[in-house]
Amino acid sequence: MATTVSSFSTLRKTQSPQIVCRKKDKEKGDPYKVIEITPPPKNLGIRCFPSNLQCGESVTIEGKAYTISAVTLRYQLRRGKYEPRDKRLDVLSTGRYILNLYFDSLLQQS
């Protein structure tokens, strides 16, 4: 049993999961893992977007408008070089994003 676990852990370290876009989305750009961060966090899947996305931009996913709260790029050190591992977008519904901005401005005024 212990050998199975150790061989699984070494396999897991050497092979990273590949994130790929759907064929119809490939023209759009790079794959991003999209998470809606309102409590509780909700995984919206892997979507392809242009590589120059920034916080505050609006994106549409399955007919719903979202605003980007954070863009996270993760890197992994391999053979002395940092290589891109994955990309993640933290999004909020547009209404929630505007409400949070309003609450932040009220907090700063008080």
Query: For residue 64, is pLDDT > 70?
Result: yes
Element (H, E) at 11: helix 2-14
Question: Between these two residues, 76 and 7, which has the higher pLDDT value?
Answer: 76
Burial environment of residue 89 by CB neighbours within 10 A (0 to 12, 13 to 18, 19 or more): buried
Q: Among 5-9, 66-70, 80-84, 89-93, which stretch is predicted with the lowest mean pLDDT?
A: 5-9
Distance CA 47, CA 80 (A): 30
Closest by CA to 89, choosing from 73, 105, 109, 108, is 73
pTM of the predicted model as reported, rounded to 2 decimal places: 0.69
Radius of gyration of the chain (CA): 18
